[in-house]
A and B are shown apart, each in its own frame.
Chain A
Amino acid sequence: MIRIKRAHVLIAALAAALCVPAAGVGAGNGLPSTIGKGEGQLNLVAWVGYAQPQWVKPFTKATGCAVHAKYAGSSDEMVTLMRSGGGSQYDMVSASGDASLRLIYGGDVQPVNVNLIPDWKHFIPQLKSPSHNTVKGQHYGVSLQWGPNTLLYNTKKVKPAPKSWSAIYDSKYKGKVTVPDNPIQIADAALYLSKSQPSLGIKDPYELNQKQFDAAVALLKKQRPLIKKYWATAADQIDLFKNGEAVVGATWPYQTNTLRAAKVPVKDLIPREGATGWADTWMLSAKAKHPNCAYMWLKWISTPKVQAQQAIYFGETPANPLACPIMDQLAKGSAAQYHCGASAAYFRSIKFWKTPIADCGNGSKDCMDYTKWQQAWTQLKG
């Protein structure tokens, strides 16, 4: 079996190398103007659930590009993976906003021609050229999906139903709390503090001065004895809720869907303080070996049907609003449940992940940069 597959790939690669020129080069700006013939394979770094057979299989059938996905558990891991092996090991990454700028400024990704992606012009306006993937008018990738990080709880064990993020800082559930093992979790604490302690003056949970940062870290230090486990992978958290080791925690909708499918009595919600969230972009490695397959993937993943499938599978909102009616066809009520085609106000209410940097726009460069976040996180985990 394996031998056949390898031979297949080899022949396809050979064919691509011999007879077909790579993607045609456009006028002046160095971007391809057409998509050439596929190279036979495509290597992705993705969030879990982003390369499901449901939409990968038909893609491979239609294009001949065999998809190999490596799942990453955090944005930091994605950045590291994209640099592994000199940066040519993976063709694409489904980077969230806290990874995309690091990849752009690190020179790890290349600009893409959005005109080759027909569905791009249907995207909601906020995600056509968002600042997390478009720099100086250059598009470094195509937006994908977005959504909030939610509060997950066991409906049998947690009563009354929580309405605030205070549930994960409350000693009532000592030893039963689980939150992501990720420095960006400091922003969740900051978001909670921005409402519960307005005197700190936190406006953006990713732009924290020393005092605000210390307050957020102190809150997380206080939370630490309540934590059963900092979850590193979605599967970890699913296990914890399944076997009753954890009853409340911060999650992605993916885990909620998986747990509910397994008949575990859980629910998730966006608490009254609002939520942090992600807006993901498929980005193209600067040294991608399979750029044509990558462009085909960008095209494929932006089509309404695939957008709808992925949105329902993971529990997130598609960038392409044409997906909304299809979502309802696939699962009644899912478009409303996952805010498909939501208002601009709802979009604004989510504090999307971005990389914290020292210069946060007030001119004094006194914000805590991401290294500080990482150090603080390692130290408070202990």
Chain B
Amino acid sequence: MRAARLRTSGFFWRHRWAKALLLLAPPLLAFALVYLAALVALFVSSFWTVDPFTTELKHIWNIDNYRTLWQSSAYRSIALRTIGIAAAVTLTDAVLAFPFGYFMARIASGRSRTFLFIAVLLPLWSSYLIRVYIWRLILNQDGVLNWFLGSVGLPPVHLAYTNWAVWIVFSYVWLPFMILPVFGALERIPHSYIEASRDLGASGWSTFRRVVLPLALPGVVAGSIFTFALTLGDYVTPLLAGGAGSQFIGNVVYESVGISNNVPFAAAFAAVPLVVMAIYLTIARRLGAFEAL
């Protein structure tokens, strides 16, 4: 028994790769089966179709779903709206997160940094749905926002159930996912770099522009992967906070599956964000985002 154990451990000592393989095999297998197989199934089913009357799945190979997506201006505008709002949300979060992250990383003391950390993470501890519903209460016709505007003598705004509301809510819910990587990137900049820059006569602004910003950029791009991908795939916020023209790709996918029972079409439309994300990640990699994650 003891000899056998020694032999086994000897084998793994001599063959490091076998040890690595044994360690990685279960997660890799799960990854391949659960993750990749689902993606392949998604892709394959997008080439099938459904019976128009009974909505039963028909295994007839065709590219009609992709043709409909390409030809219909409605689906094009839904895809463009989704990508556009995802980009706007990413930009908004980057602009909001940078000064916040900068303050946390370089100015705040240890205790107030902890406090800010908790403040950033706190919303993540409550339900996503609740947070969206609360924004509905804020933005409503007779909600908190208009009450506030009225009390300072400003005219009311009509934001509820519009794409503006969708943009605001998304920017709010994904902000922590931008702040954390930006903070991480800023914290890693050695203080000596900034001192060196000042010693060599650079002004505060040009230090920021030529030293801090380039070094923090990978962090911003890393955060943008989260905000962009999360917005791209969401359907709850457009459904609850959006109005008559707020459909996202996710909403069409949800309705195609949950209501029209047209899985093939949903699969075809779901391929669009996959392609967009692939392009986005390629660009992000060029900008060094993966080193900053």
Q: Spell out A's residues near B (CB within 8 Å).
A: 74, 76-77, 79-80, 83, 102, 105-106, 175, 224-225, 227-230, 232, 243-245, 355, 357, 369-371, 374-375, 378-382
A227 to B247, CA, bound (A): 14
Please pick, from A225, A227, A244, A380, the residue contacting B141 in the complex, using a CB distance under 8 A. Answer: A244
Minimal beta-carbon separation of A179 from chain B (angstroms): 10
Does B56 touch A at the CB level, under 8 Å? Answer: yes
A175 to B160, CA, bound (A): 11
Given the known interface contacts A379-B74, A382-B77, A382-B78, the answer about A357 and B258 at a Cβ–Cβ threshold of 8 Å is no
List 26 A-B residue pairs with CB atoms under 8 Å apart, sorted by A's residue number: A77-B259, A80-B260, A80-B261, A102-B53, A102-B54, A102-B55, A105-B53, A106-B54, A175-B158, A225-B244, A227-B243, A228-B244, A229-B161, A229-B244, A232-B239, A243-B142, A245-B140, A245-B141, A245-B161, A370-B53, A378-B247, A378-B255, A379-B72, A382-B74, A382-B245, A382-B247
Please pick, from B68, B160, B247, B260, the residue contacting A381 in the complex, using a CB distance under 8 A. Answer: B247
Interface size class of B (residues with CB under 8 A): 20 to 34
Please pick, from A229, A378, A379, the residue contacting B243 in the complex, using a CB distance under 8 A. Answer: A229
Query: Sorted from nearest, which 3 A-B pairs have the closest CB atoms?
Result: A379-B74, A106-B54, A371-B52
Residues of A within 8 A of B53 (CB): 102, 105-106, 355, 357, 369-370
Q: Look across to chain A and name the residue whose beta carbon is closest to the beta carbon of B240.
A: A236
Minimal beta-carbon separation of A121 from chain B (angstroms): 32
Does B249 touch A at the CB level, under 8 Å? Answer: no
Q: Look across to chain B and name the residue whose beta carbon is closest to the beta carbon of A236.
A: B240
Does B267 touch A at the CB level, under 8 Å? Answer: no
Residues of A within 8 A of B255 (CB): 378
Please pick, from A74, A224, A369, A370, the residue contacting B259 in the complex, using a CB distance under 8 A. Answer: A74
Residues of A within 8 A of B257 (CB): 80
A374 to B74, CA, bound (A): 13
A244 to B141, CA, bound (A): 7
| Cross-chain contact B142 with A244 (CB below 8 angstroms) | yes
Q: Which of B77, B140, B143 has the most CB of A within 10 A?
A: B140
| Cross-chain contact B56 with A77 (CB below 8 angstroms) | no
Known: A102-B54, A228-B161. 5 other contacts (CB 8 A): A83-B55, A83-B261, A245-B160, A355-B53, A381-B244
Minimal beta-carbon separation of A225 from chain B (angstroms): 8
Minimal beta-carbon separation of B132 from chain A (angstroms): 13
Does B216 touch A at the CB level, under 8 Å? Answer: no
Given the known interface contacts A227-B244, A229-B161, A244-B142, the answer about A77 and B55 at a Cβ–Cβ threshold of 8 Å is no
Q: Which of A79, A228, A355, A382 has the most CB of B within 10 A?
A: A382
A355 to B54, CA, bound (A): 10
A225 to B245, CA, bound (A): 9
| Cross-chain contact A76 with B260 (CB below 8 angstroms) | yes
Residues of A within 8 A of B258 (CB): 77, 80
CB under 8 Å from chain A, chain B span 216-269: 239, 242-245, 247, 252, 255, 257-261
| Cross-chain contact B160 with A79 (CB below 8 angstroms) | no
Residues of B within 8 A of A83 (CB): 55, 261
Q: Spell out B's residues near A (CB within 8 Å).
A: 52-56, 68, 72-75, 77-78, 140-143, 158, 160-161, 239, 242-245, 247, 252, 255, 257-261
A224 to B142, CA, bound (A): 24
A45 to B261, CA, bound (A): 16
A232 to B55, CA, bound (A): 21
Q: Look across to chain B and name the residue whose beta carbon is closest to the beta carbon of A356.
A: B53
A370 to B242, CA, bound (A): 26
A348 to B182, CA, bound (A): 66
Minimal beta-carbon separation of B7 from chain A (angstroms): 49
Residues of B within 8 A of A244 (CB): 141-142
Please pick, from B55, B160, B243, the residue contacting A80 in the complex, using a CB distance under 8 A. Answer: B55
Given the known interface contacts A105-B53, A355-B53, A371-B52, the answer about A80 and B259 at a Cβ–Cβ threshold of 8 Å is yes
Please pick, from B54, B141, B247, the residue contacting A243 in the complex, using a CB distance under 8 A. Answer: B141
A80 to B255, CA, bound (A): 10
Please pick, from A230, A243, A355, the residue contacting B244 in the complex, using a CB distance under 8 A. Answer: A230
Minimal beta-carbon separation of A185 from chain B (angstroms): 13
A29 to B143, CA, bound (A): 61
Q: Which of B140, B242, B258, B259 has the most CB of A within 10 A?
A: B259
Q: Look across to chain A and name the residue whose beta carbon is closest to the beta carbon of B140.
A: A243
Residues of B within 8 A of A375 (CB): 68, 72
A228 to B258, CA, bound (A): 23
Residues of B within 8 A of A357 (CB): 53
Residues of A within 8 A of B158 (CB): 175
A106 to B142, CA, bound (A): 47
Minimal beta-carbon separation of A113 from chain B (angstroms): 25
A24 to B257, CA, bound (A): 38
Residues of B within 8 A of A227 (CB): 243-244
A355 to B260, CA, bound (A): 13
Q: Look across to chain B and name the residue whose beta carbon is closest to the beta carbon of A380.
A: B74
Residues of B within 8 A of A228 (CB): 161, 243-244
Residues of A within 8 A of B68 (CB): 375
Given the known interface contacts A245-B160, A378-B255, the answer about A369 and B52 at a Cβ–Cβ threshold of 8 Å is yes
Minimal beta-carbon separation of A182 from chain B (angstroms): 9
Residues of B within 8 A of A175 (CB): 158
Residues of A within 8 A of B72 (CB): 375, 379
Given the known interface contacts A106-B54, A357-B53, A369-B53, the answer about A374 and B78 at a Cβ–Cβ threshold of 8 Å is no
Residues of B within 8 A of A381 (CB): 74, 244-245, 247
